Structure 1
Amino acid sequence: MAEEKELVLYYKPTCPFCAKVLDFMEEDGIELPLRNILTDDAALKTLIEVGGKKQVPCLFIDGEPLYESNDIIDYLRANCS
């Protein structure tokens, strides 16, 4: 059986690409921990320190950043649906 990975999605509510990922998650019943970088200073700091940039959406997979909404959706479709 495949080992479960720790997933956390960093986002901001004003981002249309984040909305695309969140809409996909809602439609497919995928629930993940969410970190809003506009209201969570620690999340913003982690995003920049680990990922090297402030870009969202960013899916952390066992601490490794994955950017781009389509890539995140493809990952979630393959691993969480």
Structure 2
Amino acid sequence: MNPTLKLYMFETCPFCQKVIREIKSSGRTDIEFHNIRQSEEDRLELIKVGGKQQVPCLFIDGVPMYESDDIVAWLKNNPEK
């Protein structure tokens, strides 16, 4: 079973753009995008679960992963099935 993936981000963040480029180039369709600058609910959820407002943050089955390089590496090592 595929993990539930949620990416917390905002458009002008260069580290978020790095992750988004990887998602687009891989053709992944299994990731929900949550823009914390467009949704106060998403921003508060990021802080509640992750403990901070840092983006990008990929929630993998509810567990937060920070750092764009770590997220990109995880995405490459765990392709969409």
Verify same fold: TM over 0.5.
yes
How do 1:2-41 residues align onto structure 2 when only pairs under 5 Å count? 3-31=1-29, 32-41=31-40
Query: Structure 2: which 5+ runs fail to align?
Result: none
Output the aligned Cα RMSD: 0.9
Q: Deviations over 1:4-41 (max 9, x none)?
A: 11110000001000000001111110121100000011
Per-residue deviation at 1:80?
1.8
The equivalent of 1:64 in structure 2 is 63
Aligned length: 79
Distance across 2 between alignment mates of 1:80 and 1:46: 26
Query: Structure 1: which 5+ runs fail to align?
Result: none
Pair 1:74 & 2:57 matched: no
Q: What is the percent sequence identity of the aligned residues?
A: 46
User: Which runs of 4 or more aligned residues in structure 1 lie more than 2 Å from their structure 2 counterparts after TM superposition?
Assistant: none
